[in-house]
């Protein structure tokens, strides 16, 4: 075999070459030596020439473009490049970064060079820079020792007995991996789905282009070294395992996963422990160990050592082959973090060179790498991708690693789950952020506080709509009359009264009247099917409903007071307050939300928490006597409590917007302007309607946005439209409407902010421990803001309203929201999404499980999964994936009609996808990734005939832009693509801007196809 012919690469080299080509600085090492005296350059080069002759691996060049596979070959006669710098080096870090940028031309040789320099204080410096393709740090130390002896006039020392070619040949000759190794890795990694490191605060998508220089943190850690010694002695394990186990547990804490895989790095010696060839032989293998909170630290670490050792006994599979045995990782890296131990002892390295100091800079490609450097002093180093991770978060992570090691060393017999890495200062700060003083309210109940407020300036207008107005005195007297009438009809303290009326100025009269009876109001949506109304009425124990003639006959077997027909009977009552004693802990209202069992659940909300919220929120956003609040929230949603009551507490007035106005962006904007609104509250979907209609605030308008996550794009649009200030609010019904508030500024994503009202906020892990700053956890809420629980659902109440693990005065309760959040360093909360099957769509809270449970009742349906998706404009919609029962599933129209009779309109899926079988993971669980891919790629049911006329093509383009879809057929039902009332408003508005015609929303919804909408436009043109 010719000495300079091309040869194969080892699997390690294949991986190194890939990363070196992608990022020229990856796996390029720098060793900076501080010397007593500078070596003579020519003699130093001669010593290296001998080393090149003895170790051809040092002269390898690489080719990866001319053949199907990458190759390497030696370049005999290679000389060590040496640069000599005369000016002293001031900034060592900047100098090293500049030298790294020079990199190497991998097709040339040698891939090592030297630089002689001096420090600012005059000390001689020697920099050796080399590619890991030709040697690792272990090899560099061997070579440098030999070169130093040669330079001093001696020989190179003991010759290596084996060559790197033998190592490559071993990989080539091993053939296919043995069944035992394949079985081991497949079983070890079965079902593993790597937790995303993006869960760590500061993580973001890496920018495209050249990879950034890695971030680097390093700290002396002598105490950590001593702790590792104690752990190793107590548990019978190595120091390396102790540190890797601690890092493993910490990443589990930070990512919220108990299934973590870390990289274990060591020298791979398949040809025997004495194998000492020069070349890259440092291998990284995955180690998977489930975190068991109940296990003792010592027992878990011993198990970790056993798993680590067993992994290395099956090191005959290269990492790419191992990764292919783990299909659950998708496009992610199997190993996202590794722990490396390095020995740096100047006294043991090339004594002939007079080394007084050593600095070693490596650049691993993993997103996060912990490097323990054991030398004259023990140091911990964290290398991270700065395009992915925030430096502040990395400093906290390194500090918590040291805390984790210290806690493990203090008591190895303690359970793993009892370890808390938070310092007392950190813990106190986090708890302080989430708590605050109780809000002082003017009365114990909502209606009493409003009555006192109405007594001030009684002649002023309190509530108005498009047809009339009610003064503050009239609101008080009329609500008293209605309360007396309802009591005559049998309403008693502690009861529940249903409410179903059109939105008008009468609504506050009705709600206040019910509370003055000592009862709780239960608001209904007129869009609910009768079956759902009957279910809610029975569940709440409602014996009387307040309604109007528009909803005549919808409540069978229940007494109904029609406020329009019974007006004379109501006005016959006295105008003084009925004087029913009501406490702050009594129920003010029940709000029904979606339930995972297939039935809605009623949240029982007390006066005191809601009143504290109204008081605090109103002060924050600047309500007063000169303010006008435009109320557009659905009466069946708890946003209406803020809309109708909060302005009255502060002397402002409420202008009630009709139902048909709040879904029409153009008309809504006109009404906000005409009614001179100073404040308006809506979901992001509602605000987006205004933006798409081209609305701009004529003056100053204070906006409140909540119910869904607020995107930065929408926040920017609202600011440009003159909505200032804009307040982002968050909260579940179980915590009395809103629990947090944030004045929107430049921060993106938009935080949900700090506590509002009497809601105490906590971010906890699954063991009930406070999560560190930036670490995701479940958002939990305590304090008097909490609802009483769920009507007639004691088990569900105990599941969500649990004993408070951090209560200062137990017993307390804590509501587990199911929402993911994290504390930001400035003490604000960031919302991260749901942790279960509950989602928000168009501002409505929906349990996907409820839709699935009802859909399974449909004849012909065997299994179903409901998915939520988000389009380019961040608008959400629902897709039902249906498996038929012993045959094809019912068609989409039949499924839609079945659900429309049983669910609220906003819960009916927009699209239906028929499947032969539900895709499953290796663990026999639903494969959500596969379902999402199927939903995105599947053709919608319907006739895909393309538009035929120029007008149809124009209309199709317009509709597709609104719905953010493509390829809609001219006869397809647009409802399958998500056309609802809000979207039809946008279509109508765009039609008006495109052609000088007006097409009604009713005509679009009644005939929702491209062909029919085009026909409507054509008719309007005539």
Contact yes or no for 44/112 (Cβ under 8 A): no
DSSP assigned state of 938: S
Ramachandran angles phi, psi of 514, nearest 5°: -65, -45
Average pLDDT over residues 933-946: 56
Cβ-contact 456, 475 below 8 angstroms: no
> For 706, phi and psi rounded to 5 degrees?
-165, 180
The pair of three-digit structure tokens given for residue 660, joined into one six-digit string: 């048909």
pLDDT, residue 809, reads: 60
Sign, CA torsion 130/135/139/143? negative
pLDDT number for residue 388: 74
Strands (E), 529-622: 544-547, 559-562, 587-593, 601-606
Average pLDDT, integer, range 96-105: 93
Residue 847: per-residue pLDDT = 74
Give the model's pLDDT for residue 939.
Answer: 36
Model confidence at 206, in pLDDT bands (50, 70, 90)?
very low
The runs of H, that is alpha helices, within 622-692 are 639-649, 659-662, 665-674, 684-692
User: CA-to-CA distance for 1019 and 1010, rounded, in angstroms?
Assistant: 14
pLDDT of 111 over the 80 cut? yes
Position 885 pLDDT exceeds 70: yes
pLDDT at 557: 87
CA 98 to CA 959: how far, in whole Å?
A: 54
Confidence bin at 926 (pLDDT 50/70/90):
low
Report d(CA 974, CA 1001) in Å as an integer: 13
Closest CA to 871 of 988, 966, 943, 729: 966
What is the pLDDT at residue 468? 95
**Token reading at 930:** 């596969």
Decide if pLDDT at 274 tops 70. Answer: no
Q: For 367-424, what is each residue's pLDDT tens digit? A: 899 999 988 889 999 999 876 788 899 999 999 999 999 999 999 999 999 999 999 9
Look at the block and give the residue holding tokens 């207008």.
461
CB atoms within 10 A of CB 632: 26
Residue with tokens 């794009």: 713
**DSSP secondary-structure letter at 709?**
P
Pairing of strands 628-631, 653-656: parallel
In a 3-state reduction of DSSP, which class is residue 395? Answer: helix
Please count the helices (runs of H) and the strands (runs of E) in the chain: 31, 39
b/e code 152-173 from CB counts within 10 Å (16+ = b): eeeebeeebeeebbebbeebee
Share of the chain above pLDDT 70, in %: 91
Cβ–Cβ < 8 Å for 939, 965: no
Would strands 259-267 and 282-290 be described as parallel, antiparallel, or unpaired? Answer: antiparallel
Minimum mean pLDDT among 644-658, 795-809, 865-879, 915-929: which range? 915-929
**Number of residues that make up the chain:** 1022
Question: Nearest Cα to 78, choosing from 48, 121, 44?
Answer: 48
In angstroms, the CA 100 to CA 88 distance is 18
Cross-strand bridge partners of residue 342: 373
Which pLDDT does position 938 carry in this prediction?
A: 46
Per DSSP, the three-state class of 399 is helix
Question: What is the DSSP pairing of strand 861-870 with strand 71-74?
Answer: unpaired
Q: What is the pLDDT of residues 2-39, one digit of tens each?
A: 556 889 999 999 888 887 876 777 889 999 999 999 99
Q: Which value, in Å, is the radius of gyration of the alpha carbons in the chain?
A: 35
How far is 109 from 607, CA to CA, in rounded Å? 79
Q: What is the mean pLDDT of the chain?
A: 88
Report which secondary-structure segment, H or E, holds 169: helix 164-173
| Helix locations, 334-445, DSSP H | 391-410, 424-434
What is the C-alpha to C-alpha distance for residues 247 and 235, in angstroms, rounded to an integer? 17
pLDDT of residue 922 exceeding 60: no
The Cα 489–Cα 815 span in angstroms is 37
pLDDT for residue 211 is more than 50:
no
Q: Evaluate if residue 280 carries a pLDDT over 50.
A: yes
pLDDT of residue 920: 64
Average pLDDT estimate for 337-356: 90
* Pairing outcome for strands 544-547 and 496-500: parallel
Of 132 and 660, which is predicted with more confidence?
A: 132
- Hey, is 495 helix, strand or coil? coil
Closest CA to 497 of 519, 470, 475: 519
Please state whether the predicted TM-score (pTM) of the whole model is above 0.75.
yes
pLDDT over threshold 50, residue 65: yes
- Tens of pLDDT, residue by residue over 315-327, are 888 888 888 787 6
If we measure between CA atoms, which residue out of 415, 544, 557, 422 comes closest to residue 482? 544
Cα 782 to Cα 609, 740, 751, 760, 801, distances in angstroms: 11, 13, 20, 5, 9
For the chain, list the domains and their CATH numbers.
Answer: 7-170 (3.30.559.10), 176-201+212-348+363-421 (3.30.559.30), 445-607 (3.40.50.12780), 847-941 (3.30.300.30), 950-1021 (1.10.1200.10)
Nearest CA-CA partner of 282 in 224, 340, 237: 340
Residues 63, 67, 72, 76: is their CA dihedral positive or negative?
negative
Confidence check: pLDDT of 942 > 50: no
Weakest-pLDDT range from 58-67, 242-251, 730-739, 748-757 = 58-67
The better pLDDT of the pair 918, 648 is held by 648
**Could you tell me the two tokens for 1012?**
């029919």
Parallel/antiparallel/unpaired status of strands 461-464 and 469-471: antiparallel
Instruction: Point out the least confidently predicted range of 102-106, 659-663, 772-776, 782-786.
Output: 659-663
Q: What is the pLDDT of residues 559-618, one digit of tens each?
A: 999 999 999 999 999 999 999 999 999 999 999 987 656 678 999 999 999 999 999 999
DSSP string, 838-907: EEEETTEEEEHHHHHHHHTTSTTEEEEEEEEEE-TT--EEEEEEEEESSSPPPPHHHHHHHHHTTS-GGG
859 versus 207: which is more confidently predicted?
Answer: 859
**CA–CA gap between residue 460 and residue 784 (Å, rounded):** 33
């Amino acid at each position: 075999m010719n000495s300079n012919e091309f040869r194969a690469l080892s699997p390690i080299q294949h991986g190194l070459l890939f990363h070196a080509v992608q990022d020229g600085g990856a796996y390029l090492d720098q060793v900076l030596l501080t010397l007593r005296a500078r070596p003579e350059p020519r003699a130093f080069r001669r010593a290296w020439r001998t080393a090149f002759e003895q170790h051809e691996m040092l002269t390898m060049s690489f080719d990866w473009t001319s053949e199907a596979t990458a190759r390497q070959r030696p370049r005999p006669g290679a000389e060590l490049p040496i640069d000599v710098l005369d000016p002293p080096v001031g900034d060592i870090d900047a100098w090293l970064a500049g030298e790294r940028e020079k990199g190497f031309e991998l097709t040339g040789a040698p891939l090592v060079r030297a630089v002689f320099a001096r420090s600012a204080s005059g000390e001689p410096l020697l920099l050796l820079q080399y590619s890991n393709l030709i040697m690792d740090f272990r090899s560099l130390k061997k070579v440098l020792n030999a070169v130093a002896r040669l330079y001093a006039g001696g020989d190179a020392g003991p010759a290596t007995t084996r060559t790197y070619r033998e190592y490559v040949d071993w990989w080539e000759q091993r053939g296919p991996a043995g069944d035992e190794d394949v079985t081991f890795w497949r079983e070890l990694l079965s079902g593993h789905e790597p937790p995303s490191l993006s869960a760590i605060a500061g993580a973001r998508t890496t920018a495209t282009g050249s990879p950034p220089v890695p971030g680097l943190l390093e700290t002396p850690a002598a105490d950590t070294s001593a702790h590792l010694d104690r752990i190793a002695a107590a548990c019978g394990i190595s120091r390396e395992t102790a540190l890797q186990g601690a890092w493993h547990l910490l990443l589990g804490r930070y990512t919220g996963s108990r299934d973590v895989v870390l990289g274990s790095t060591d020298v791979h010696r398949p040809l025997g422990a004495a194998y000492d060839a020069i070349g890259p032989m440092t291998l990284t293998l995955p180690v998977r160990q489930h975190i068991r909170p109940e296990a003792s630290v010592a027992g878990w670490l011993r198990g970790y050592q056993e798993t680590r050792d067993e992994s290395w006994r099956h090191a005959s599979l290269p990492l790419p082959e191992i990764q292919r045995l783990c299909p659950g990782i998708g496009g992610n890296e199997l190993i996202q973090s590794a722990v490396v131990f390095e020995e740096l002892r100047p006294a043991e390295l090339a004594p002939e060179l007079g080394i007084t100091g050593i600095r070693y800079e490596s650049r691993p490609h993993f997103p996060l790498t912990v490097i323990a450097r054991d030398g004259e002093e023990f140091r911990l180093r964290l290398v991270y991708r700065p395009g992915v991770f925030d430096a502040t978060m990395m400093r906290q992570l390194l500090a918590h690693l040291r805390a984790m090691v210290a806690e493990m060393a203090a008591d190895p017999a303690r359970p793993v789950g009892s370890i808390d890495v938070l310092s007392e200062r950190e813990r106190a700060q986090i708890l302080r952020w989430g708590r605050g003083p109780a809000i002082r309210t003017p009365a114990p109940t909502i209606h009493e506080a409003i009555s006192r407020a109405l007594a001030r300036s009684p002649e002023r207008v309190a509530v108005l709509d498009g047809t009339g107005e009610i003064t503050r005195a009239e609101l008080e007297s009329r609500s008293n009359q209605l309360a007396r009438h309802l009591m005559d009809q049998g309403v008693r303290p502690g009861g529940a009264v249903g409410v179903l009326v059109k939105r008008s100025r009468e609504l506050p009269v009705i709600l206040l009247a019910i509370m003055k009876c000592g009862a709780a109001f239960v608001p209904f949506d007129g869009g609910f099917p009768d079956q759902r109304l009957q279910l809610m009425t029975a569940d709440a124990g409602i014996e009387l409903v307040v309604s109007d003639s528009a909803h005549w006959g919808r409540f069978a077997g229940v007494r109904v007071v029609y406020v329009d027909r019974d007006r004379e009977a109501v006005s016959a009552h006295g105008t003084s307050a009925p004087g029913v004693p009501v406490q702050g802990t009594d129920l003010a209202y029940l709000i029904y939300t979606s339930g995972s069992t297939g039935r809605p659940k009623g949240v029982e909300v007390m006066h005191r928490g809601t009143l504290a919220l109204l008081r605090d929120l109103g002060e924050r956003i600047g309500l007063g006597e000169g303010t006008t609040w435009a109320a557009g929230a659905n009466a069946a949603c708890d946003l209406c409590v803020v809309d109708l009551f909060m302005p009255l507490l502060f002397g402002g007035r409420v202008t009630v917007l009709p139902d048909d106005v709040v879904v029409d962006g153009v008309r809504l904007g006109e009404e906000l302007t005409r009614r001179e609104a100073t404040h308006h509250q809506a979901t992001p979907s509602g605000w987006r309607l205004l933006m798409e209609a081209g609305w701009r605030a004529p003056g100053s308008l204070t906006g409140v946005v909540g119910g869904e996550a607020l995107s930065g794009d929408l926040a920017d649009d609202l600011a440009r439209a003159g909505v200032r200030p804009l307040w982002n609010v968050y909260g579940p019904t179980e915590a009395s409407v809103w629990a947090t508030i944030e004045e929107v500024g430049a921060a993106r994503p938009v935080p949900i902010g700090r506590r509002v009202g009497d809601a105490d906020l906590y971010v906890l892990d699954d063991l009930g421990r406070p999560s560190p700053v930036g670490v995701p956890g479940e958002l939990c809420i305590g304090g008097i803001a909490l609802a009483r629980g769920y009507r007639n659902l004691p088990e569900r109440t105990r599941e969500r309203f649990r004993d408070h693990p951090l209560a200062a005065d137990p017993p307390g309760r804590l509501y587990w929201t199911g929402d993911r959040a994290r504390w930001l360093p400035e003490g604000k909360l960031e919302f991260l999404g749901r942790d279960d099957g509950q989602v928000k769509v168009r501002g409505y809270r929906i349990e996907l499980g409820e839709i699935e449970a009802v859909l399974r009742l449909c004849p012909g349906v065997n299994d179903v999964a409901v998915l939520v998706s988000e389009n380019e404009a961040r608008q959400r919609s629902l897709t039902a994936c249906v498996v038929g029962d012993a045959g094809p599933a019912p068609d989409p129209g039949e499924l839609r009609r079945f659900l429309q009779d049983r669910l609220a309109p906003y819960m009916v899926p927009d699209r239906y996808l028929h499947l032969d079988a539900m895709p499953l993971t290796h663990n026999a669980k639903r494969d959500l990734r596969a379902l999402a891919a199927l939903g995105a790629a599947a053709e919608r049911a319907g006739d895909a005939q393309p538009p035929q006329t120029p007008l149809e093509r124009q209309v199709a383009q317009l509709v597709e832009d609104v719905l953010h879809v493509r390829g809609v057929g001219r006869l397809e039902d647009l409802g399958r693509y998500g056309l609802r009332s809000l979207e039809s408003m946008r279509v109508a508005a765009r039609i008006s801007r495109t052609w000088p015609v007006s097409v009604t929303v009713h005509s679009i919804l009644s005939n929702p196809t491209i062909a029919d909408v085009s026909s409507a436009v054509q008719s309007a043109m005539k």
